[in-house]
Structure 1
Amino acid sequence: MQSQRTNIILRADNVNLTLGGNPILRDLSVEVRDVVRTGMTTGQVVGFLGPSGVGKTKFFEILAGLLQPTSGTVQLGDPLQPVRAGMVGVVQQNYPLFNHRTIEGNLMLAAKKRYPNGSEAADRMRDVMGRLHMADKLGLYPAQLSGGQRQRVAIAQQLLCSDHFLLLDEPFSGLDILMIEEVAEMIQEIAHSHELNTIIIVSHDIVATASVSDTLWLMGRDRDTNGNIIPGARIKRTYDLAAMDLCWDKTILAKPAFQTMVSEIRDQFHQL
């Protein structure tokens, strides 16, 4: 299946962040282009990898418009515009829901923030839950859902509040193998439901993240000639998995080239 990357739909340009006099991010520049495959609707899934404490969370917050960089810009959309809070849905690990409200009640709170008309909000909410195969769960309470179902509801919340951009924080954390496969399938399903949908996954799970992504960002810090770390992290390497023929394949985990890439990334972690 032929594919190409066309318009830029997210761009971070020379982002720097200093907190308390300490450089956290340095000269960080990346972009996401719309992936186009002939005869198919294809969104974008970007895996964002790096060691703990390297600055992934801070860049996550900058991409979401929740934290202003010391310098540099983040733009997203088609056409590009400066990011602001609310443009990007953020799904955290704890999936906050009101336990005393039904799933429908929780989601209507989110939907009405964007769709003041109650009928329109309800229609949009039911449409999103239908696409997530959760329409039959609207009358249940959060305590009656499995962990994977709660995650789908949390994603539905953010889809109701934002247009096409989602940031997922450790979506595979604490899940067994079967649940990881379910979540991975869901991520791709959501991404590919609209051409401009873009999901960025921040995770420590290299295999699961790489298996659902068409792009990988590897964050780390440079070292001087003596091997000492230079403060301030940046994107050290970008993997274009589409160009490498390592995406959109249900058998990807068995491919020797995929296994080789995962081993290479693991080795690089020691130097990041």
Structure 2
Amino acid sequence: MQREIDGELLEVPNHVAIILDGNGRWAKKRMMPRNYGHAQGSKTVEQICEDAWNLGIKYLTVYAFSTENWKRPQKEVDALMKLLRSYLKDCIKRTTKNNMRVRVIGDKTGLSQDIRESIEELERVSAANTGLNFTIAINYGSRDEMRRAMVRMTKDVESGKIRSEEVTEELFNSYLDTWDIPDPDLLIRTSGEQRLSNFLLWQLAYTEFVFMEVLWPDFNRNELVRAIRQYNGRERRFGGI
């Protein structure tokens, strides 16, 4: 979809995925604990949701906590879970105010019962909203997602629900956490790192990547527009000529 942004006609990606990176380094530069950076980063997420929708983006997916993040110091993990609990509760209020639909992808069985209950409530109360489709990846790893998908698919083959010769890319996709979400058009990773870190490996097959030096808490509307401009400079051929 083309839209005039700051006096410039740009093609706006339908779905933007973001790897939120740099919270800890942002805090360290300010002589503050890493948890302070995570708290500021969560506020950035709130603002970017509004900015994305106002710019015409329909789907936004953020990488909040990976399956590998459990390896971090226990004190930091505990602080992140505390922040997540608070964020999910606040998000319930914001979804109603902003007409935003929220989904959570990842292995929810690895989360505490109260967090799972908050996720269920958030998804339920926002299910009919027609604004931004906001997806949060929590305890998510793409390899784990595909493994879980294969386990479910194998059970369906063994039970006779599907036949092995019926397995297509489209069928496999239907077993993924993102089965009802279009693949991202644009992936943004902040903080200067240039890797995917086990994020949406299947879904990013033909996505355009933009790596930015800005640390996540400093990411704002201007940075998002800058990434969209880079996206507009790409020619998407999807394997064709």
Greater strand percent: which structure? 1
Greater fraction helix: 2
Report the TM-score when normalising by structure 2: 0.33
